[in-house]
């Protein structure tokens, strides 16, 4: 059996950065990390960031793996080879309904070679429960988690830290904080503990540490079609409209103009990211990203290897005006 770990959290909470910190620790312990990345439009952008740490990255671009991209996720799970040294890490889309995703990974037969999911939720200390109509979705991702990791703690006051921790424990009293390094160590231990166990029997209950308890009906159950907790309603995140606009950039662009455009994005743009080449250094590929409306959180840094994706910008948010965005980016587009 292969350990399965979900990395979750709202858009821009720091999931890919967290993954970057886990992977070296797993490698040091002889663990082979298989990574599935799910993101709006162009998941290859974040896959490029991880390419220097592992060559076992599989991107899923499009809708969330809890709904529109569910079958693609499950097909990928089936394609992963039996690897006694392997661990599977799934970075879920920032708007994922984690309750539904955990249910799918627990009950669908295509996931039976993997342990019940360990779910880590990333919480952005600056924005926790300050997302207005998105607060419900952010809170729902915490309720299903086994572990939590709070990012950007150095940017908030001690009082705010205390408020966040109290809020998290109110939502999920069993939530325990964990660092990337400790998570890597725990996953390596879990891999050793369950490596020789057979695939899960869907007629049995199981804990996340790989143990099994006999159910009243031990016979295998048929594959199921999954519905949210309210059978008459949509998954949690369907109450929140998100859109993604992908735009092809020129081969070379001005860094000054890119910074200006990213600083001028509308409030509805929750996140922007992409790959580009600057006129001043045409041979160096760069990754850029901006979270929320904070221009001070704009990051632009060189990539270690040439990316597999063409120069691209992706903007994610609620009720985006694609025409207005393309007009804003006009000087940078092909």
Q: Is residue 32 located within the same domain as residue 173?
A: yes
Confidence at 210, pLDDT banded by 50, 70, 90: very low
Q: DSSP H helical segments within 62-134, as ranges? A: 70-79, 98-107
Q: Mean pLDDT, to the nearest integer, of 223-233?
A: 32
CATH code of residue 285: 3.30.1220.10
Q: Give the span between the Cα atoms of 264 and 188, in whole angstroms.
A: 44
Last residue of a domain, one of 187, 212, 236: 236
CB–CB of 1/198 below 8 Å? yes
Last residue of a domain, one of 236, 265, 282: 236
pLDDT beyond 80 at 44: no
User: How high is the pLDDT of residue 319?
Assistant: 61
Pick from 185, 211, 181, 157: which is nearest to 1 by CA?
211
Q: Is residue 203 located within the same domain as residue 249?
A: no
Q: Is residue 90 located within the same domain as residue 200?
A: yes
Q: Is residue 149 located within the same domain as residue 81?
A: yes
User: How high is the pLDDT of residue 8?
Assistant: 93
User: How high is the pLDDT of residue 310?
Assistant: 84
Q: Is residue 192 located within the same domain as residue 88?
A: yes
User: How high is the pLDDT of residue 58?
Assistant: 62
Domain housing 288: 241-332
Taking only the tens place, the pLDDT of each residue in 4-29 is 999 999 988 999 889 888 988 998 99
CATH code of residue 50: 3.40.50.300
Q: Is residue 229 located within the same domain as residue 246?
A: no
CA geometry: angle at 203 spanning 202 and 204, to 5°?
Answer: 90
User: How high is the pLDDT of residue 117?
Assistant: 86
pLDDT beyond 90 at 196: no
Taking only the tens place, the pLDDT of each residue in 45-104 is 665 665 555 555 665 666 666 677 788 888 889 989 888 899 999 998 888 888 788 878
Taking only the tens place, the pLDDT of each residue in 139-155 is 989 988 889 999 999 99
Q: Is residue 206 located within the same domain as residue 273?
A: no
What is the tally of structural domains in the chain?
2
Confidence at 279, pLDDT banded by 50, 70, 90: very high
């Amino acid at each position: 059996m292969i350990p399965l770990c979900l990395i979750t959290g709202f858009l821009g909470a720091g999931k890919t950065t967290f993954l970057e910190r886990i992977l070296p620790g797993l490698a040091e312990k002889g663990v082979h990390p298989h990574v599935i990345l799910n993101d709006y439009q162009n998941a290859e952008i974040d896959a490029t960031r991880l390419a220097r740490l592992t060559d076992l990255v599989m991107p899923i671009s499009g809708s969330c793996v809890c709904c529109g991209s569910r079958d693609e996720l499950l097909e990928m799970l089936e394609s992963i080879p039996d690897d006694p040294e392997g661990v599977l890490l799934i970075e879920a889309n920032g708007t994922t309904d984690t309750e539904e995703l955990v249910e799918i990974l627990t009950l669908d037969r295509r996931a039976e070679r993997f342990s019940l999911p360990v779910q880590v939720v990333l919480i952005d200390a600056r924005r926790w429960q300050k997302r207005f109509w998105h607060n419900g979705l952010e809170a729902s991702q915490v309720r299903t988690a086994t572990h939590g990791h709070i990012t950007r703690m150095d940017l908030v006051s001690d009082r705010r830290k205390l408020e966040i921790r109290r809020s998290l424990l109110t939502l999920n009293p069993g939530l325990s904080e964990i660092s990337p390094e400790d998570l890597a160590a725990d996953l390596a231990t879990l891999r050793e503990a369950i490596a020789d166990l057979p695939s899960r029997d869907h007629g049995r209950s199981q804990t996340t540490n790989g143990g099994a308890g006999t159910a009243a009906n031990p016979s295998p159950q048929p594959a199921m079609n999954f519905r949210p907790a309210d059978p008459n309603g949509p998954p949690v995140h369907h109450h929140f409209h998100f859109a993604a606009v992908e735009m092809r950039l020129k081969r070379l662009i001005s860094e000054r103009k890119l910074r200006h455009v990213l600083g001028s994005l509308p409030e509805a743009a929750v996140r922007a990211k992409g790959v580009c080449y600057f006129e001043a250094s045409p041979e160096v590929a760069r990754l850029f990203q901006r979270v929320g409306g904070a221009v001070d959180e704009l990051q632009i840094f060189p990539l270690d290897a040439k990316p597999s994706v063409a120069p691209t910008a992706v903007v994610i948010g609620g009720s985006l005006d694609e025409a207005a965005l393309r007009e804003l980016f006009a000087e940078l587009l092909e």
